[in-house]
Amino acid sequence: MLKPRILDAINEQINAEIWSAYMYLAMSSYFADEGLNGFAHWMKIQWQEELTHGLKFFDYLLERGEQPILKPIAEVPEKWDSTLHAMEETLKHEEHVTALINNIMDIAIEEKDYATQSELQWFIDEQVEEESSVQEIIDSLKLIGDRGHGIFMLDKELKARTFVDETLED
């Protein structure tokens, strides 16, 4: 059994991961509406990844003999000022998720819950990759702007992304 502080934090994290998925699906819709189908596709892959992250936490609770508690998902934004703004909001959100996961790790360390620490290491490593990939897109957008040949090429590049369920690669 998990200590109550860890159980509560992980249940909150499940909600945060599902909220992230919902936000990325909203961003996919926004980008599709803007005619940026590559960005829309990239966000749809993000949506899938966040769902698998939520399920990884969900399954971890079940493995530990705990019942995951699913809470309502808060409303997500629907519009952004620009492609760059949407990606900057994505990075800000990923940094927030990183902070949430780091907080769970802090609790696991305080509670001397070594199994949870081990489980969380995967998420900590994953967040480094998440932040890096979004920052790379932001850097490209700052170089090329939101219109013209550059955005066309970046959009085409993002459309080539494929979904890989990394939670299964242990």
For the entire predicted model, the pTM comes to: 0.90
Say if residues 42 and 136 touch (Cβ distance below 8 Å).
no
pLDDT, greater one: 163 or 14: 14
Q: Which domain holds residue 86?
A: 4-168
Q: How many domains does the chain have?
A: 1
CA distance 67 to 2: 11
User: Smallest Cα–Cα separation from 74: which of 31, 16, 29, 24?
Assistant: 16
CATH number of the domain encompassing residue 150: 1.20.1260.10
Phi, then psi, of 145 in degrees rounded to 5: 85, -175
Q: How far apart are the first and last CA of the chain?
A: 23
User: Tokens 């499940």 map to which residue?
Assistant: 14
**Predicted pLDDT at 170:** 55
Mean pLDDT score, 113-141 = 96
Mean pLDDT score, 89-118 = 97
Decide: helix, strand or coil at residue 68. Answer: coil
Tell me the pLDDT tens digit for each residue of 54-80: 999 999 999 999 999 999 999 999 999
